[in-house]
Structure 1
Amino acid sequence: MITDEQLDEYRINSTKLRVVRDALETNDVKGIVVAWDEESVMIRKQNRRIVKLDRSYIYQPADEERALIF
């Protein structure tokens, strides 16, 4: 699970993130961190829509190579 410190750093720097939810790259969510709580993270996508995602997913900068989870 991603820490509060990592999320705060990504929010302050407006780092575009990739959220890896499963083995399919097409299901990844890309955007910037808007807010979070103990269980979820809110990501603003490029089209300005907000998505609420579970904190157990893999959060990484979008410019890094995609993490393989399966």
Structure 2
Amino acid sequence: MISDEHLDAFRQDGAMVRVVRDQLEENDVVGIVVAWDADQVMIRKANRRIVKLSRAHHYELASEERSDPF
């Protein structure tokens, strides 16, 4: 699970993050961290829609090469 410190750093930098949900790259969510609570993270995608995702997923910078956490 991603820490509050990492999420806050992503939010303050306004960095695009990639959320790796499974092994398929097309299922990744790319956007900006907007808010979070104990269980979920809200990501604003490029089309301005908000997506709520579990904190258990793997979060990384979108500018870096995709890693496979599985």
TM (norm. structure 2) is 0.97
> What RMSD, in angstroms, separates the aligned Cα atoms of the two structures?
0.6
Residue 60 (structure 1) aligns with:
60
Q: Which residues of 2 match residues 1-70 of structure 1 at below 5 A?
A: 1-70=1-70
Task: Please give the alpha-carbon distance, in whole angstroms, between the structure 1 residues aligned to 2:6 and 2:69.
Answer: 20
Task: Please give the alpha-carbon distance, in whole angstroms, between the structure 2 residues aligned to 1:65 and 1:46.
Answer: 19
The amino acid of 2:34's aligned partner reads: V
The alignment partner of 1:59 has SS state of strand
Displaced runs of 4 or more, over 6 A: none
CA-CA distance at 1:67 after TM superposition: 1.1
Task: Please give the alpha-carbon distance, in whole angstroms, between the structure 1 residues aligned to 2:66 and 2:58.
Answer: 10
Identify unmatched segments of 5+ residues in structure 1: none
Task: Please give the alpha-carbon distance, in whole angstroms, between the structure 2 residues aligned to 1:69 and 1:25.
Answer: 12
Q: Percent identity?
A: 61
TM (norm. structure 1) is 0.97
Residues 15-53 of structure 1 deviation map (CA, whole Å, 9 limit, x = unaligned): 100000000000000000000000000000000000000
